[in-house]
Structure 1
Amino acid sequence: MRIGYYAHHHGSGHCRQVDKLAALLSTKERKQLTVFTSLPSEAYAFTCIEEQQIVRLRAEDERVDDVLKGRAGEYWQPASLHYSPVGNIDIQKRSRQMLETIFQRKIDVMIIDVSVEIAMLCRAASIPYVYVRLPGIRDDTPHLNAFAGALALLCPYPQVLEATLTPSWVCQKTLYLGFINNSKPDVSPYRDFITTLMTLSADNKALKALLASDPIIVTVIKGYGGHEAIDKKLPELRRLLPTAFIISLGPIDHDKRRYVDIATQVDDVTPFMHHSDYLLMACGLNTIAQAYYCATPVVVLPDDRPHQEQEVMAQALIAQGRALSWQQFVRFMRDDRPYTNPDDPIQTQAQDKSDDVPSLPYADSLPAAQAFMSSTMTYSTAKSWFNEWLLPQLTLSPET
């Protein structure tokens, strides 16, 4: 089949997700993908999808000449839409651009990641779609309508992290793809990690003396979507662990640099994840996907996101024993005892600071995503795919 993928423009995570899915296909099969997004090309560089496969949509921002604002009063706003300005020429043109491209390229099924408005556009135009369902409490009418209108729902995380408040029919209609990591990480030996730290430090002599004392290494990983909340914890982290070696990866407030030993940005966080004693991070899906299969204990500080997206993910990780809350971390440190979870098969592979690289079940959920993507290339029509492959994967039927 020919697949269209709508990637939302907030952050690069949605484009990154389709890139990871495309990597599961052969080079020839990837040509069957078309990506629709209003994210500019400089914001994310695709690795598995060529530019001619990407349809750059107009932005959907409000305009001064709109007849009605995107979020109007109760009696002017359809309950099935979050955002729907009236008379917006940009939205009119992007909608036409999408529909014409779907028709011209003979796209069989759309994957929507994420937009209830695009979902309703597809359903009204009789275009089959599956909908990517993110973490959080998404029980509002627009989301439930988008879920109901889909052939199925896709979750880019394991079922064990599902929110307890999710309606049962939504779970029954969901394919859980798990965290998608396309390859086992290439973890450098510990001595190489230390060499890397030396290149990042302005004072190698002081760094060498500090590392000689075998300190606790804490790596703080941040993105550009809300690092201020984590930065506010840095003074408390330093007071809690005055002799620790603290690394900040990503953006950092200027006045918080004095609380860390190294503040930098790197292309690959993998060695930091595997050779640190603790990781401090928010709960963005892409970062958590990497950290989930790492033996290093994770301390989560969820960002404030719509629908409690990161809070719900943090709660699930903590409940499963795959993460600590800030309060739990503080308690362990004040009790002067390291955190280990004997019930966690990943963390029980205790790390020592040697050159041995741990062998981890990094991609144990990859078969679900692989099976899904392969199925889209096995069937030639949406109807045969839906009836013969997709429906048998679900515990819900159209007659329910």
Structure 2
Amino acid sequence: MMRIGYYAHHHGSGHCRQADKLAALLPNDARAQLTVFTSLDINSYRFTAIDEQQIVRLNAEDERSDDILAGRAGEYWQPASLHYSPVGNSDIQKRSHQILDTIFQRKIDLMIIDVSVEVAMLCRAASIPYLYVRLPGIRDDAPHSGAFSGALALLAPYPKALESTHTSEWVCDKTLYLDFIYTQKTELCTYESFIDILAKLSAGSEISVPKSTRLSSIEAQLTDKSEATILIITVIKGYGGHKAIDEKLPALRSLLPNALIISLGPIDDDKRCYVDISAEVDDVTPFICHSNYLMMACGLNAVAQAYHYDTPLIVVPDDRPHNEQAVMAEALVTQNKALNWQQFKTLMRVNDNQPESFDQTIHGQSKPYPTTSVDNIEKNDVEEDSSKETNAAMSTDAQAFMHSTTDYPTTKRWFENWLLPRLNLTPESTIKDCLIKNNRQLDSETKINDDHSANE
């Protein structure tokens, strides 16, 4: 069994969450051998699949006043292979020592780097095998290309169907696509239970506009067991950035003045007046299941949760380096999984805000408003059972990858017998070894044939 190290970048909590989700796919004995390296503090993300002693809290890598050279010192002092490389920075020296010393002390066989070109180059220079996590976006710059080339393989935590058309063929060939990894187990939630959740959130929600009319309308219809006719729009945001989506809230309210708008996650104070409920919840699944529309940015974790449900998506990507979210949004729209903001506005205006038309555009079939009848609640139960099965199936590729690391005693054997057969690229050294081996076999067979001929 190989020992795995996982480097999780400190920006946002998504990288640590990704490490946590992959760890949860491992058998218990292998999971206990996993080591996570991160400079994110314990209060920003708490791991659930691994213990704190398995986490190495790294020194920060921020620039210091006593640095000899800044992290981006210009063309005469900036290596083309790195994005950020201060010189004389004692914190970075310490964190580099932490990484290498821990790899040596814990006998780590393989590193997964999510994400850092600098840590990738540190590992390659120290002759440590690594896999590099590829995020969406356009990453064809020299530092990324170097990190990709130096890796045994690349890991994409999303489906191949959402790959950017701008990605080089060799990068795609070197990539293992793990699909979206979503391991959260949730209890079934009927539409009736969802309304109860909304009522409780509404009671404690601090907003400046009357929302009782819209929520009371749903509650009254639930009591009467009749069909709900009010639109429910859930806006889901993460902590990596939510400015772009918050800026759309006034226009969303203007476009759909009678809709019940729910904001999950952080929200700017001056935008609270445009929503009916503002809250932070542990589980967004009921909102994904029972809302008419989901409006969201395109972070990996958020998209992973919503991707396999039928609820229509309106995507509003945040501005991120390398066009990460913009490229993901473009792919979702291209795959008919979502509409962008302009398409959504146009469709609402043309079709008089009818959700049936929206769903017809997205999925090619009409999806009615959620209903509160017994038949519908049973139908929702069936759909949620199916969704749970889908979520379990989503982890198949990622689970096969994680379990493969437990099936081989060395990285070399895993690389040659499990990884390479799944890639369309073969290292030149391996090709040469195969040619030498084949030539030796041919020489041996020729010698045997010659011996037979001589005996005859």
Tell me the TM-score range normalised by the shorter chain.
over 0.9
CA distance 1:385–1:349, change in 2 (3 Å): farther
1:107 to partner: Cα distance: 0.5
Aligned-partner residue type, residue 306 of structure 2: A
Q: Distance in 1 between matches of 2:217 and 2:16?
A: 40
Structure 1 stretch 157-166 or stretch 262-271: which is displaced more? 262-271
Which of residues 365, 380, 396 is equivalent to 2:425? 396
Q: Which has the higher mean CA deviation after the structures are superposed, 43-52 or 210-219?
A: 210-219
Counterpart pick for 2:409 among 367, 380, 397: 380
Tell me by how many angstroms 1:186 deviates: 2.9
Q: Do the aligned partners of 1:321 and 1:341 also contact (CA within 8 Å) in 2?
A: no
Aligned partner of 1:86 in structure 2 is 87
Q: Which amino acid aligns with 1:340?
A: D
The 3 A distance-change label for structure 1 pair 257 and 205 is: closer
CA distance in 1, matches of 2:361, 2:257: 28
What residue number does 1:249 align with?
264
Cα distance in structure 2, aligned partners of 1:40 and 1:343: 41
Q: Which residue in 1 is equivalent to 2:435?
A: none
Q: Separation in 2 of the partners of 1:350 and 1:386?
A: 50
Aligned runs of 1:3-42 on 2, under 5 Å? 3-42=4-43
Instruction: Tell me the secondary structure at the aligned position of residue 43 of structure 2.
Output: helix
Distance 1:205 1:298, change over 3 A: closer
Q: Deviations over 1:23-57 (max 9, x none)?
A: 11122110120111101011111001111111110
Q: 1:187 to 1:333 in 2, by over 3 A?
A: farther
Distance in 2 between residues matched to 1:275 and 1:329, nearest whole Å: 19
- Looking at structure 2, the residues matched to 188 and 243 of structure 1 have their Cα atoms a distance apart, in angstroms, of 25
Extract unaligned runs of 5+ from structure 2: 204-209, 222-227, 432-456
Amino acid at match of 2:284: V
Q: How far did 1:183 drift?
A: 4.8
Q: Give the equivalent residue in structure 2 for 1:209.
A: 216
**Matched residue, 2:345:** 330
Higher deviation after alignment, 5-14 or 333-342: 333-342
* Shift of residue 349, structure 1, vs aligned partner: 7.5
Indicate the residue corresponding to 1:131 in structure 2.
132
Query: Residue 452 of structure 2 aligns with which residue?
Result: none
Contact 2:9-2:114 at 8 Å conserved across structures: yes
CA distance in 2, matches of 1:317, 1:348: 19
CA distance in 2, matches of 1:193, 1:222: 19
Structure 1 residues 121 and 348, CA gap change in structure 2 (3 angstroms) = farther
CA distance, structure 2, for counterparts of residue 19 and residue 321 of structure 1 = 30
* Secondary structure of the corresponding residue to residue 299 of structure 1: strand
Distance 1:259 1:342 in 2: 27
| Contact residue 198 and residue 204 of structure 1 kept, 8 A | no
Distance 1:341 1:371 in 2: 36
Any conservation in 2 of the 1:131–1:154 contact (CA below 8 Å)? yes
Give me the TM-score of the superposition, normalised by structure 2: 0.84
Q: Verify the 8 A CA contact 1:187 1:270 in the aligned structure 2.
A: no
**Bigger Cα displacement from structure 2, 182-191 vs 73-82:** 182-191
Q: Could you tell me how far apart the structure 2 residues matched to 1:125 and 1:70 are?
A: 21
Instruction: Select 2:300's aligned residue among 285, 294, 300.
Output: 285
Q: Percent identity?
A: 65
Question: Are the equivalent residues in 2 in contact too, given 1:295–1:350 (CA < 8 A)?
Answer: no
Q: Which residue of 2 aligns with 1:160?
A: 161
The separation in 2 between residues aligned to 1:186 and 1:341, in whole angstroms, is 29
Separation of aligned partners in 1, 2:126 and 2:182? 34
Displacement after TM superposition at 1:61 (Å) = 0.3
- Cα-to-partner distance string for 1:264-309 (whole Å, 9 max, x where unaligned): 1111111011100000110000010001011110100000000000
Indicate conservation of the 8 Å contact 1:2/1:109, yes or no: yes
| Matched ranges for 1:56-205 at <5 A | 56-183=57-184, 185-202=186-203
Query: Deviations for 1:178-220, whole angstroms, at most 9, x for unmatched residues?
Result: 0001255434000011011111113895354332462110001
Deviations 1:65-94 (A, max 9, x none): 000000011011000000000000010111
Residue in structure 2 matching 1:295, options 310, 335, 344? 310
Partner of 2:334: 319
Counterpart for residue 445 of structure 2: none
Q: CA RMSD in A?
A: 1.8
CA contact (8 A) 1:19 1:46 kept: yes
Aligned residues: 399
Structure 1: where are the runs of 5+ without partners? none
Q: Matched residue of 1:42: which SS?
A: coil
Equivalents in 2 of 1:180, 1:350: separation in Å? 29
Q: Give the Cα separation in 1 of the matches to 2:216 and 2:142.
A: 59
SS at match of 2:261: strand
Q: Distance in 2 between matches of 1:156 and 1:388?
A: 22
SS at match of 1:110: strand
Structure-1 separation of matches of 2:311 and 2:367? 10
Structure number with higher helix proportion: 2
Distance 1:120 1:371 in 2: 27
